[in-house]
Chain A
């Protein structure tokens, strides 16, 4: 799964333990973006995965010092080979966030 590159080892271990402890009958595991070994379906729009969009929103809220619930992703798409551009609604306007595939926010700028 792609996530393991972005979190400290302790977090990964904790996550693994939680994974083992979960009683999720019938559940499989995969990455958050829906990439399975041989996908049979895909989204028609190449939007950023939901978790990356929300990471952008929470980072923007912190940087702009506004309530988290006042920032919401409204648009997203690829930005270069390994990142996404996410447009956010923010109080009194919009902002643009660039986030890479590892979940690292590169920038947040007013639109």
Chain B
């Protein structure tokens, strides 16, 4: 499903697709992953797909996601200004650029197959414990979602998690967000409908460091929303 077209490497105006508002958080967990993560199987000594099932098992066993997805300070050679957010959808990392060729790297979950996108956007709004409004199509198929048709208040059960940064294009809400999650095991997966999800501790950390107006560069190989690709 294509919600938007990319124009000149920026996301074009959101189609009147407000109906899909915040569909990002409820994508099916078993969807195919075009460029999915792999995890090393020490028993059989080979790399295997890091599926949602594997991610749940790992999280149950370790109480956290793999170390690669833990928040960490890394070297980042870039000319982008400090405060810029770089999202590497293929490797499931979000970088916040710091001075002196450093960045904070966070693990993320990204759009599942067909829902990935890439472009240059900006943080247009920030919200603590944001309201989540399920899209009409979700309300139609899920009675549980229907009761939140007018918006689910922010809180621990809200699928947007503790914080949300609303991504804007040319001053307009793209409907995509960087947000927290109630499913911390899902970091590292292609699982959303296009939103960037982080565990709640990380999204709170990022939220405190990011200003409205911050540039956000989203890289995702194979994303379907490029014009001319």
Given known A-B contacts A34-B68, A47-B221, A27 and B90 have beta carbons under 8 A apart: no
Once the chains bind, are B221 and A69 in contact (CB under 8 Å)?
no
A67 to B: closest C-beta gap in Å: 10
Separation of A29 and B76 alpha carbons in the complex (Å): 11
Q: Does A109 contact B (CB under 8 A)?
A: no
Separation of A7 and B91 alpha carbons in the complex (Å): 25
The size bracket of the interface on B is: 35 or more
Cβ-defined partner of A40 (8 Å) among B39, B86, B92, B95: B39
Once the chains bind, are A72 and B38 in contact (CB under 8 Å)?
no
Q: Does A107 contact B (CB under 8 A)?
A: no
Most buried by A among B50, B74, B79, B119: B74
Once the chains bind, are B105 and A74 in contact (CB under 8 Å)?
no
Q: Does A80 contact B (CB under 8 A)?
A: no
Separation of A2 and B104 alpha carbons in the complex (Å): 16
Once the chains bind, are B74 and A47 in contact (CB under 8 Å)?
no
Separation of A72 and B8 alpha carbons in the complex (Å): 9
Q: Does A106 contact B (CB under 8 A)?
A: no
Neighbouring B residues of A18 by C-beta, 8 Å: 98-100, 102
Q: Does B93 contact A (CB under 8 A)?
A: yes
Q: Does A64 contact B (CB under 8 A)?
A: no
Neighbouring A residues of B69 by C-beta, 8 Å: 41
Q: Does A42 contact B (CB under 8 A)?
A: yes
Once the chains bind, are A22 and B90 in contact (CB under 8 Å)?
no
Known: A11-B101, A50-B76. 11 other contacts (CB 8 A): A1-B75, A3-B75, A15-B75, A31-B74, A42-B38, A43-B37, A43-B91, A45-B35, A47-B88, A51-B76, A54-B79
5 A–B pairs (Cβ distance < 8 Å), ordered by A: A22-B102, A27-B71, A30-B74, A36-B68, A89-B226
B residues with CB within 8 A of A: 8-10, 33, 35-40, 47, 49-50, 66-80, 86, 88, 90-93, 95, 98-105, 118-120, 188, 217, 219, 221-223, 226, 228-229
